[in-house]
Chains A and B, each alone.
Chain A
Amino acid sequence: MQQQLGSAFADPLTDFSDRAYGQGNVSLGHSAVKVVRGRLSWMTGLLIGPGVLAMLGENDGPSMLSYAASGATYGFGFFVPFILLTFAAAYIVQEMAMRLGAVTGRGYGELVFQRFGRFWGWTSAGDLIVTNLVTLITEVIAIRLGMGFFGIPAWGAAACSIALVTVASWGGRYSRWERLSAGLAIFNLIFVAVAVFARPSAGDIVRSVAEWSPLPKAGAQAFLMMIVSNIGATVTPWMLFFQQSASVDKGLAIRDIRQGRLNTAIGAVLAAIAGCAALVAATPLFVHHVDMAQYLNGAGFAQALRPIIGTPGASLFALGLIEAGAVALLTISASSAYAVAEMTRVVGRSFDTSPADAPLFHATNVGMTLLAGLIVLIPGAPLMAISINANLLATILMPAALVFLLILSNDREIMGDHANRRVCNILGVSIAALVALAGTAYAVVGFLGALGLNLD
């Protein structure tokens, strides 16, 4: 227990251990209370670690829209088990990132820079910044869609987005930023309530998971797009940068790896539940053959669902979109800030430093969201097209990040006994190959389709 209390996962708000308050003469009753509080602290800490934040952060605006689009277009026959599979893959990848951070004490960008040199370091950071900016635009779009349902204008959504990231960045403590993000992230489970409003058949869901059927009847390009979009909704470059750097910022060490794994697994389970719930929530649109094209420029799925599941359910869906976008704004901006600060090797690269002490870190954190908010306000910008393609871009660029992750986590010079084991490598290489295959297949089929060679 003492080892648990001494870990980086102990929540400082509820940590009443001797380590936090000094050792003294305490009665048996006090000791029992301390043990209970210590356990509470440990459990709270597990719930708000980088693993949970990375996983729930990746259940972002475009991801939830992607899950909902899968449900609205194909029902839950194929995609419920597929989403579960992608979150299992996300766990394997994120566990490696957490372990790398805990063992080396370095962020992902910093390690790539140091071990592979300037060129690969900047290339990785460049990929990250481009995908993050596109994804942040989609987060503001998601918040705009959600707030639009309640009549809030686009500029209000953009202003709220920028204000949220600014306020979160201001505290000068990682733990404060983490608690704020985790407090918002837990509302990702709102989608479970929306799914209840949709009144799905539990038997059909269980059957789809057990039999992975019915397979959707769709054209090659549309189906591949949905597959790639769902992969990009769970396995993305920013998650690697974020979880490894946040693990370092939180102070994870080798002794915390077990808790880090548990934290990541809890995140994967919660995110998978919320992701599947978003899909299930939108399946009434599939059942009622609703044409989503008429809702693309309005409040989207929430508006389309209102006549079917009622205003309370639709309102919750809109709130869920706002939450998904808000958490992702915090985590994706943070991953950009970590990457830029690590690559430029500036002194301040942590939420534990104030904006005055770490101007580049905090400026990147807020600046990325500011830029995304301004782009969303450009009249006539193809926002829905950007939103749909954000996950695709992440999937296409992910293999490069996965290759570096696999090389680094097999690097015994820096990982020692904590390097990958054979099973982890087989799974990691399989994931990298499948992600590359899916991204390539989509790009080629889409390209040929644009040239008029339709493979459907």
Chain B
Amino acid sequence: MSDLNRSLAIPSGTRSAAIEPVSLEKHTARRPFPPMRLSRAARAALIGLRLFLGLITAMAIFTFLHGNRP
């Protein structure tokens, strides 16, 4: 396991919900992972993919509405 996981004290390998008592803290007692450092190129690629998917979603919605017009 990575050093980061150890430092975050993820109880991996010890958790077992099968007989674990119910606890509200089960999913909240952990510190969040730090944000990933993304390069500008990676950010641009993600935004580009998102815009592209938005475009083809809009095309599919147009096709759907066109095919179901009264």
Q: How many A-B residue pairs have CB under 8 A?
A: 147
Please give, as numbers and ranges, the residues of chain A lying within 8 Å of B59 by CB-CB distance.
Answer: 443-444, 446-447
A172 touches B (CB below 8 Å): yes
> Which segment of A62-70, A190-198, A247-255 sits at the interface?
A247-255
Is A111 part of the binding interface, using a Cβ–Cβ cutoff of 8 Å? yes
B interface: dominant SS: loop
A354–B23 CA distance with the chains assembled, in angstroms: 11
Which of the listed residues A353, A385, A444, A450 has the most CB atoms from chain B within 10 Å of its own CB? A450
A58 contacts B by Cβ under 8 Å: no
Q: How many whole Å from A224's CB to the nearest CB in chain B?
A: 12
Cα-based distance from A175 to B21 in the complex (angstroms)? 12
Q: B56 in the interface, Cβ–Cβ < 8 Å?
A: yes
Knowing A253-B14, A400-B50 touch, does A350 contact B19 (C-beta < 8 A)?
no
Task: Render B3-33 as a binary contact track against A, CB cut-off 8 A, 1 for contact.
Answer: 0110000111111111110111011101011
Contacts A115-B35, A413-B4 given; does A393 touch B10 at CB 8 Å: no
Q: Which residues in window 377-421 of A have CB below 8 A to B?
A: 382, 385, 389, 392-393, 396-397, 399-400, 403, 407, 411-418
- B68 and A385 contact, CB distance less than 8 A: yes
Given contacts A253-B12, A350-B26, contact A393 B57 (CB under 8 A): yes
Verify if B53 is at the interface (C-beta below 8 Å from A). yes
A414-B1 Cα distance, complex, nearest whole Å: 8
**B6 nearest CB across to chain A (Å):** 9
Query: Are B63 and A251 in contact, with the CB atoms below 8 A?
Result: no
> Quick check: B15 and A450 within 8 Å, CB to CB?
no
B residues within 8 A CB of A418?
Answer: 1
Residue of A nearest to B33 (CB): A114
A250 to chain B, nearest CB (A): 5
Question: Is A449 in the interface zone, CB < 8 Å from B?
Answer: yes
Q: By the criterion CB–CB under 8 Å, are A253 and B15 in contact?
A: yes
Of the listed stretches A9-17, A142-150, A161-169, A366-374, name the one at the interface; the rest are far from the partner chain: A9-17
Decide: A175 and B60 in contact? CB cutoff 8 A. Answer: no
Q: Assuming the A-B contacts A104-B10, A414-B2, are A446 and B63 also in contact, with contact meaning beta carbons closer than 8 angstroms in the complex?
A: yes
B36 interface residue (CB < 8 Å to A): yes
B66 at the interface (CB under 8 A from A): yes
User: In the complex the two chains form, is B50's CB within 8 Å of A123's CB?
Assistant: yes
Given A254-B1, A347-B28, CB of A450 within 8 Å of CB of B62: yes
| Bound CA–CA A123/B12 (angstroms) | 29
Alpha-carbon distance between A64 and B11 when the two chains are bound, in angstroms: 40
Q: List 12 A-B contacts (CB under 8 A).
A: A102-B12, A104-B33, A115-B33, A116-B36, A117-B35, A248-B27, A254-B12, A385-B68, A416-B2, A439-B56, A440-B56, A443-B59
Interface residues of A (CB under 8 A from B): 6-12, 15, 19-20, 45, 102-106, 111, 114-117, 120, 123, 172-175, 248-255, 347-350, 352-353, 357, 382, 385, 389, 392-393, 396-397, 399-400, 403, 407, 411-418, 439-440, 442-444, 446-447, 449-450
Closest 6 CB pairs of A and B: A251-B17, A416-B2, A446-B63, A443-B56, A447-B59, A450-B66
Known: A253-B15, A255-B13, A352-B26. 10 other contacts (CB 8 A): A12-B19, A104-B5, A106-B30, A173-B22, A248-B27, A254-B13, A389-B64, A418-B1, A443-B60, A450-B67
